Amino acid sequence: MHFTINGTKYDADPDIRTSLLDLLREHLGLTGSKKGCDHGQCGACTVLVNGRRINSCLTLAVMHQDDEITTIEGIGTPDNLAPLQSAFVRHDGFQCGYCTPGQICSATGMLDEAKKGWPSHVSESLDGDIALSDEEIRERMSGNLCRCSAYPNIVDAIREIAGEDA
Amino acid sequence: MADQELPTRERISVLDRAVQRVLGQPIDRTDGPAKVTGDARYAFEMAAKDALYGHILTVQIGAGTIRSIDATAARTAPGVVAVLIDDDRLPADAVNSFDKPKSWRLGREIEFFGQGFGVVVATSAEAARAAAALVKVDYAPRTGRFDPDLSKPEEHEPEGLRPAVHTGDFDAAFDGAAYRYDAVFTTPIHFPAAMEPQATLARWEDDRLILHSSLQSTGGATKAIARALDIKADRIRVIAPFVGGGFGGKTSVGAEAIYAAIAAKETGHPVKIVQTRRQTAHLAHHRAPTRQRVRIATDAEGHIRAFGHNSVIAQRHDRWFIEPVHIGTTHLYAGAARSMGVDVVRANHPTSGAVRSPGEACGTLAIEVAMDEAAEALGLDPIEFRRRNEPGASPVDGKPFGTRKLVECYDEGARRFGWDRRNPVPASVREGDWLIGTGMAAAIRSNITVEARANITLHPDGSALVETDMTDIGTGTYTILMQVVAEALGLSPDKVRVAIGDSTLPRSAGSGGSFGASSSSSAAALACQDIARTLAARMGVDAGDMTLQEGHAIAANRRVPLTELLAGEAVRADGHAKPGDHTNAHVSASYGAHFAEVAVSATTGEVRVRRMTGVFDIGRVLNEKTARSQILGGMIWGIGSVLHEDGMIDARTGQFTNPDFGEYHIATHADSPPIDIHFIEAVDDLANEAGAKGVGELGNSGAGAAVANAIYNATGIRIHDYPITLDKLIDALPED
Ligand code: FES
Ligand code: FES
């Protein structure tokens, strides 16, 4: 099978039981995506599939032959950090770093959802523009757990980037 | 001042005299770029050719025996290379260096649900997991002690981490007091729940074992591994440059590490094993459930005469660790008569052990609420009550304190939070459907001095390398050690390289008990002191008359580049920090004050924490940014422990009913309010050479109690049975 990940084509022949997360981590050496629970409960495995954030532990690799997949490795590199990544560093939006790739992929997807006007549980109205208040950011990011509890710093980092985008 | 009579440590003149202005600064983590890009590799992510995957088999009853195991189908399943069962070498759960590793063999009693009994090894994780499901076990279950009655202790104050405290005639002092407070609190099981589950890649090179493992210590772990495998510790190398959180749960060596080592030996391949999220709840330790009786007796003016903090906790059989519930209470408030200790009930539960802020995390949930209740009954502001009972020296034995800025923390916290605007009358502030309240609590975390070593090499090009087997579990070790060395040797941050997370490096105490940063920094500072002496000798001056700055030695009106002084040769020094005579001659702790504002829904009882303020005394602040983050994380743990976290064991089967993130709720983004954090910095010369005290566990001490007190102020309801979930509030909510 062929997979398109971060714009690069990969050949792989995964077991039909292999999750997208295990394809990345165990078959392709893309270990940036993390496994915290393997059950869709923590968000550490968040990647973007065709621009939308998903828990890669909850989907099978064989379902994604024709998709554009973006992982943390495709967002930036240590020598060339994406703005959101450097904002995480500046605001200390992590400690152990294990939830961090998921937080960053999730925030990337989330910023796009907000830009498209998708409402959340705390949005005042179901249509119209979304102003990303801290409350909106917290609500929209709550699928990404961080046991180090860097949450306020993560919100600071996302707010800074959301502000620049607006 | 009492502390001036004590011999202090050798002053680290290199830090006192330093002018590089790196130490203490809020410098970005040096491992940040690796972590935000996925470049940082954790244990399970190390490359290993032809690695096999193991899946741990766990027992599915809580007590009883196993009649037989049939692994025939598993052994012949596709991809399976080996099935190891009924093997003395396989421990039931995590191993440490103080408890005897316990294995399980056919016919022996099962001690707790979820204990390990074997491992399936296969060419893929999928194959191993599928084959594990084919192992047939014939159980003979019996009813175990799944629901221990903590009101009926069996072992009275057994020896543990913290001795019991009995001073004065407690009963007489209590009975004769003008005001008496006596109440019982319960706290549930808490999981450490690090985001990275316990994981190991094991491989052998001849008779040398190499483990990439998710552990809080590397060198320290080799001892426990050696014992479990019955090999020499010097044959073992543990590598852990990145660890996805620990919180105490990775102070012992995960069962998967031992299983992987054995499986790798048997199969001749590297073997990778990760515990499933649900397995971590059983195979790693949890914080014990507690029942705490708090008694406070005062005179009419609110001066404490007797303080009682007597607890009962649950632990499984043959485990040494006893949750030290009164560890913080011991020296926190005045009161000549003291009765503090921990009794034990044995249970068929997984092992309980040290989880972030052992003792204080659960202890403060009781005593800091008790203090609030007592203050109200006495008609005193809770800060004033604490101020009246601030001891000048240890209330237990009169030993002097190290730096103790607790009263300053109350005052500064009150000022920043706006405590003077508080309405002390419960249930009197309302915004629409929300009842608003504020509360405060003290924070305390005993500071422990431990032995640690670090080597420093100053290379001829003027760059430095610091080496120690410490870990960085999110605590900032990479960055802090860089700062200490850059400061002490007058180097810019990019000139210092930090090598940690490998047991072949000089031995530290690892990360745990909040002693990691201060002890390894002390060792590094001592080594720098040695190097500075060598450089000073080359300058022909005393080290005390020399300044190191920007890669130059400055003394006697000369400014000489280090590269010139080094003349093509590296200078190397070993630093060895350890407790001294004065360590036991004084009482060392970190302190703080928490303030919280909550909104409680008048309809549903839902609690929202709206903001918090925390002010802390942690001695020298090594990095203002990472220290703040540690505290922030701890305070949010406090929110989780008071509102959500509740590890539940099914009384019929002994299994955890909620051993994963879907059911065991930790705080999320939505639960985490803006938090204002401030440090009152006072270098503590008695604590250690770096003058720094523990920070990683302090934020978690008292934060939950501040929220509980705020809930009372909002609603007039006291809940002593944690966590404070809405079902406990809803029936008692005030009518409007
Ligand atoms: S690993 Fe996928 S959500 Fe936790
Ligand atoms: S940084 Fe450790 S879990 Fe988020």
pLDDT at A153 over 70: yes
For the segment B61-86, the average pLDDT, to the nearest whole number, is 96
Q: Does one domain contain both A159 and A95?
A: yes
For residue range B210-243, what is the model confidence (pLDDT) as tens digits? 999 999 999 999 999 999 999 999 999 999 999 9
> What pLDDT is recorded for position B176?
95
User: Of the candidates A39, A74, A109, which is a domain's last residue?
Assistant: A74
Chain A residue with CA closest to B35: the answer is A97
User: Of the candidates A35, A56, A74, which is a domain's last residue?
Assistant: A74
Atom of ligand 2 nearest to the CA of B196: 3
CATH number of A34's domain: 3.10.20.30
Q: Which residues of B are catalytic?
A: 697
Chain B residue with CA closest to A47: the answer is B38
| % of chain B with per-residue pLDDT over 90 | 88
Question: Is B102 exposed, middle or buried, given 0-12, 13-18 or 19+ CB atoms closer than 10 A?
Answer: middle
DSSP state of A124: S
Which ligand approaches the C-alpha of residue A103 most closely? 2
Q: For residue B339, what are its two tokens?
A: 């009765």
3-state secondary structure of B623: strand
pLDDT at B10 over 90: no
Beta bridge partners of B116: B58
For residue range B716-733, what is the model confidence (pLDDT) as tens digits? 999 999 999 999 999 999
Q: Does one domain contain both A6 and A66?
A: yes
For residue range B377-389, what is the model confidence (pLDDT) as tens digits? 999 999 999 999 9
CATH number of B43-143+193-283: 3.30.365.10
Q: Which residues of A touch B675 (CB under 8 A)?
A: 152
> What pLDDT is recorded for position B517?
81
> What pLDDT is recorded for position B11?
54
For residue range B634-678, what is the model confidence (pLDDT) as tens digits? 999 999 999 999 999 999 999 999 999 999 999 999 999 999 999
Q: Which domain holds residue A139?
A: 83-165
Architecture of the domain delimited by B8-40+450-578 = 2-Layer Sandwich (3.30)
Identify the CA nearest to A22 among candidates B124, B122, B52: B124
Which of A20, A24, A37, A145 for a ligand 1 pocket mutation test, highest count of atoms within 8 Å of Cβ?
A37
Q: Which of B41, B125, B246 sits opposite A31 (nearest CB)?
A: B41
- Structurally, how many domains does chain A consist of? 2
| % of chain B with per-residue pLDDT over 70 | 98
Architecture of the domain delimited by B290-448+585-726 = 2-Layer Sandwich (3.30)
pLDDT at B4 over 50: no
Measured CA to CA, the distance from residue B133 to residue B275 in angstroms comes to 15
pLDDT at B551 over 60: yes
Q: Does one domain contain both A88 and A156?
A: yes
pLDDT at B13 over 80: no
Question: Is B665 exposed, middle or buried, given 0-12, 13-18 or 19+ CB atoms closer than 10 A?
Answer: middle
Q: Quickly count: other Cβ atoms within 10 Å of residue B557's Cβ.
A: 5
ipTM over 0.90: yes
Atom 3, ligand 2: residue with shortest CA distance: A146
Q: For residue B151, what are its two tokens?
A: 């009101």
- Indicate yes or no: pTM above 0.80: yes
Q: Which residues of A touch B193 (CB under 8 A)?
A: 147
Q: Does one domain contain both A97 and A156?
A: yes
CA dihedral B30, B32, B33, B39 (to 10 degrees): 110
Which is more confident, B690 or B435? Answer: B435
Cite the residue boundaries of each domain of chain B with CATH code 3.30.365.10.
8-40+450-578, 43-143+193-283, 290-448+585-726
Helices (H) and strands (E) in chain A, counts: 5, 5
| CA B474–ligand 2 middle distance (angstroms) | 8
> What pLDDT is recorded for position B686?
84
Are residues B415 and B440 in contact, defined by beta-carbon separation less than 8 angstroms?
no
For residue range B582-633, what is the model confidence (pLDDT) as tens digits? 788 899 999 999 999 999 999 999 999 999 999 999 999 999 999 999 999 9
- CB under 8 Å to B722, separation ≥6 — which residues? B185, B186, B187, B188, B365, B641, B642, B646, B704, B708
Say if A147 is an interface residue toward chain B (CB within 8 Å). Answer: yes
pLDDT at B195 over 60: yes
Measured CA to CA, the distance from residue B570 to residue B560 in angstroms comes to 16
pLDDT at B8 over 60: no
C-alpha distances in Å from residue B609, one per residue of B191, B357, B474, B583, B587 = 22, 22, 25, 39, 34
For residue range A120-147, what is the model confidence (pLDDT) as tens digits? 999 998 988 889 999 999 999 999 999 9
Are residues B508 and B37 in contact, defined by beta-carbon separation less than 8 angstroms?
no
Structural Rg of chain A based on CA atoms: 16
For the segment B57-84, the average pLDDT, to the nearest whole number, is 97
For residue range B517-546, what is the model confidence (pLDDT) as tens digits? 888 999 999 999 999 999 999 999 999 999
> What pLDDT is recorded for position B107?
81
Task: State how far residue B201 is from chain A, nearest Cα, in angstroms.
Answer: 13
Q: Quickly count: other Cβ atoms within 10 Å of residue B280's Cβ.
A: 27
Measured CA to CA, the distance from residue A111 to residue B557 in angstroms comes to 58
- CB under 8 Å to B494, separation ≥6 — which residues? none
Say if A94 is an interface residue toward chain B (CB within 8 Å). Answer: yes
Q: Does one domain contain both A55 and A92?
A: no
Measured CA to CA, the distance from residue A41 to residue B319 in angstroms comes to 32
Ligand 1 contacts CB of residue A43 (under 6 A): yes
> What pLDDT is recorded for position B14?
73
Q: For residue B491, what are its two tokens?
A: 């180097």
Is B243–A96 a contact, with Cβ atoms under 8 angstroms apart?
yes
3-state secondary structure of A4: strand
> What pLDDT is recorded for position A165?
61
> What pLDDT is recorded for position B736?
67
Measured CA to CA, the distance from residue B665 to residue B668 in angstroms comes to 8
Q: Does one domain contain both A9 and A66?
A: yes
Give the per-residue SS3 of B310-351: EEEEEECCCCCCCCCCCCCHHHCCCCCEEEEEEEEEECCCCC
Q: Does one domain contain both A157 and A91?
A: yes
Q: Does one domain contain both A59 and A111?
A: no
Identify the CA nearest to B707 among candidates B727, B734, B725, B695: B725
User: Of the candidates A74, A93, A110, which is a domain's last residue?
Assistant: A74
Q: For residue B173, what are its two tokens?
A: 């002092």
Q: Does one domain contain both A57 and A87?
A: no
Say if A48 is an interface residue toward chain B (CB within 8 Å). Answer: no
CATH number of A102's domain: 1.10.150.120
